[in-house]
Structure formats: C-alpha cells, structure tokens
Structure 1
Amino acid sequence: MSDATILIIEDNEDTRELLKYNLAAAGYEVASAADGHEGLESARATLPDLILLDLMLPGMDGLEVCRRLKQNQETARIPVIMLTARGEEVDRIVGLELGADDYVVKPFSPRELSLRIKAVLRRTPGEDNGPDELWEEDGLRVDFGAHTVDIRDERVPLTATEFKLLSELIRGRGKVQTRDHLLDMVWDTHFEGYSRTVDTHIRRLRQKLGDFADWIETVRGVGYRFKS
C-alpha cells in the first residue's frame, strides 16, 4: 500500500471515476479535477506526488497544463503521466519534451497504469540519484539527497526529469553516454526513435546551468559527456 497522493485531471467522468476507484484500492490518496484550469489550481494547492493528466481537455488541453506545471517552481518537480486516446508519435514526443515523465495510451489496463505509476514514483525526489549525497565543483552544487541544484548559492529550479538527467550525466562524468542509454536510465524505458527528446532536455538543462552549460559536451553522432 502507498500513502502517495495522485491528482487525476480527466474530463470524462466514467474514466475519472474508474481511475479514482482503482487508485484508491491500490492504497493511494486520490484527488481529481474535470478540466485543465481546475487541475492547475488543485496541483498548486495540494502539491500531489504524481499527476495523471489527460491530453484532450476542454478549455486548456493537457499539453498546456503540463507546460504551465513545469514552468511553475512549486509544481515543476511533480511527475506527470499523460493519458490520451491519441497514440501518434508526435503527441508522445511533444508530451515528453514538455517534461512529462511517461505517456499511456487509452485504453490501458489498471495493471499497466499501476506499474507505470510505481516506476515514476521510484525516481521522484528523495532517492539517491547520484554517486554521492553531495557533489560540488567550482560553484555548481548538486545535493542528491535533497534533490536540489545551486549555482553560487542560487537555487536552480529543475524538473524531476531534468534533475534525473543531470544526475545520470554526473554519475558517468568523463564517459560518453548515448541517447539510448539516457532514455533507458532517465525515463526507465526506451522510446524507440525518441532521441530528440533527450536533445530537448539537454538544451533546457544547459540553459538553466548558465555558465556551466558547456560542462555538458556534445559528442557528435554518439551522445553526451559531462566534464570529468
């Protein structure tokens, strides 16, 4: 059983109630919202441990909700699993690039969703995501236990996925890490053909690292390397 809180943002009442029933039976605390605006307000007010986010929402779609969640420092680290009946590759890529942690296509089995939720929650803040509890060099400080990054004592707001990616790069610093390896390690699965997702997250991570951006080196045709 789990004491984690999950927020469901889903406009279809039948789907929403089914999700609530199954998640409550699995031991989760469950909150729900029927549209994007209500979901955003609920996320900001309750700061759940994970959000199940439908893509096709009235008023504000799931992609926009995800974008706003990841732009807000208070909600940026909340993991998001997108739910949608649309299975086109472009939708999956856009969702992942916006910071979603996983993507489940309807119809899905309760067991499949439960396994996805557990996998995402395993890599959320509070875990030891790096080689040591604390790593620091030249003003860049990464606290793996607290899941925080500081540059010259200024906090850098990273999403859970960005922090996991930085941690993986630091863990293998000095070694070239392929895009496929990073997909496997950061997203806990391999999204065939989704190497652009890694590139997008690397670009955003570099932007947030500022003066330390060039510590993430591109190895053309292979992947990335964090300076040793």
Structure 2
Amino acid sequence: MENSDYKILLVDDEPDILEFLSYNIKKEGFQVKTASNGVEGIEVAKKFQPHLIILDVMMPEMDGIETCDNLREMPEFKDVLITFLTARNEDYSQIAGFDAGADDYISKPIKPKVLISRLKAMLKRANRTKANGDNSTSSIIKFGSIAIDKERYLVIKGEDELSLPRKEFELLLLLSSRPQRVFTREEIYNGVWGENIIVGDRTIDVHIRKLREKLGDNLIKTVKGVGYKFIDKD
C-alpha cells in the first residue's frame, strides 16, 4: 500500500502539536484527521476509520488511556494500531497504556523524521503480520484446551473466545510457534515490535503478565536472565 492509502488520526489537546504533526505526516502523503480530546477522537475515528491512531495521554474530558480502552471495546477498532505520544516517561503511564491495548509508546519531543519512520515501521509490520496469517496453511493452532486462531486474532480457552490486543496476540503467536524454545528478550522485541521500534524495558513483562492473567500462569515460563518460553504440556 502507498502512504496515501493510509489514514492516521491525531488526538492531542495542544493545537500547536496537532498542527506540527499533521503538517509533517501529510507531507509524507498520509491522510490525516485531528481531534482535541478523547471524546472527539472517538467520534472522528468512527467516521474516519483510521489505520493508525496517535493519542496524547493527558487530555481534558477523556484522557488517552481511557480513550484507548474505549476504542478497544469496539469491534471495528480491535485491530487498529494505537500509539501514545506523550511527554510522560514514567513506567506507570507506559504500563497503563499497554494495559489499555496500545501498540507503541512515543515520547515527546520527537523529530518529524523519526516519528514518520516509527509510523511507517508500525504499518509495515502490521501488513506483514496480516499477510503471513492469511497465507498460513492452518489458521488454528491447538495446545490442549487452548486454541489460537491466527485468522481471526482470537484465542479460544475452553468454550470462551478471548479477543486479545494486537501485541499480546503477536507475542503469544511468536512464543507458541516454537514450544519449549526459549526466546530472548531481544528476539521478542524484534519479532513483535520490530527492529526500528524502541519501547520501554518493562514492555515485554507487562504483556506477559496480561497473557498469564487471561490464559493461566502455566503456559509461559520465565527463564531468568534470558527470556520466556511457551510450555506445551499436551
């Protein structure tokens, strides 16, 4: 897909930032819409149907975390890329963002060329993941009472269907692709977020914790000082 095929929504309560980012992203050929708070952002998203949403964390009426959480509850935005753009670098805000279903976290200030590079890398990786899933000979992988549906981005646990955020699903898919194999943290970063994406040190840990909460503690084992592995006991 060309840049002009992609739609990007910017949500920030600072007009100067919206104007600056919008100008630089449009200059690369992307379609861009803006909103000044979370409530407005959701309404614009429903009409615009963006491929990627950039959310500020601190906003009036509805902050970025709550906005992301609300978007992920809507079926049409389950697989849309969402990244936070914020001056807040504390671990807890990153963790809250990933818990809400964010795909990435970008800190202000950021140079336009770096931002564009990050956005292109996210879109490229999302397309590659989708294409790989579509070309797979088998869309469902089963491990005992757990089934991973690659085509629908669903995990079936017993009789329950679990719709996971994109990065949680991709992390589970990576680990389960080679049961019992230990994936290093670097391999996981590169495999799930991509080599050009820089995320916080606790990002993997947060996603592993969320997977364990949903699927149980016995499926993913921590190998101290190395990484994680998927346990297939059946």
Partner of 1:185: 191
- Confirm or deny that 1:224 pairs with 2:228: yes
Match of 2:155 among 143, 146, 149: 149
Which amino acid in the other structure matches residue 139 of structure 2? L
- What aligned pairs does 1:45-194 form with structure 2 within 5 A after superposition? 45-124=47-126, 126-128=130-132, 133-137=138-142, 138=144, 140-151=146-157, 155-188=161-194, 189-191=197-199, 194=201
TM-score, length-normalised on structure 1?
0.81
8 A contact 1:127–1:145 mirrored in 2: no
- Confirm or deny that 1:206 pairs with 2:212: yes
Match of 1:29 among 28, 31, 35: 31
Which amino acid in the other structure matches residue 167 of structure 1? L
TM-score, length-normalised on structure 2?
0.80
Which amino acid in the other structure matches residue 141 of structure 1? A
CA RMSD of aligned residues (A): 2.8
Whole-Å separation in 1 of the counterparts to 2:20 and 2:178: 42
Q: Which runs of 5+ in 2 are unaligned?
A: none
Which amino acid in the other structure matches residue 122 of structure 1? K
Aligned identity (percent) is: 37
Q: Secondary structure at the match of 1:218?
A: strand
> What is the number of residues matched between the two proteins?
224
Whole-Å separation in 2 of the counterparts to 1:94 and 1:179: 21
Which has the higher mean CA deviation after the structures are superposed, 155-164 or 130-139? Answer: 130-139
Deviation at 1:146, TM superposition (A): 4.6
Which amino acid in the other structure matches residue 227 of structure 1? I
Deviation at 1:93, TM superposition (A): 4.1
Which has the higher mean CA deviation after the structures are superposed, 78-87 or 122-131? Answer: 122-131
Whole-Å separation in 1 of the counterparts to 2:158 and 2:102: 29
Whole-Å separation in 1 of the counterparts to 2:198 and 2:209: 20
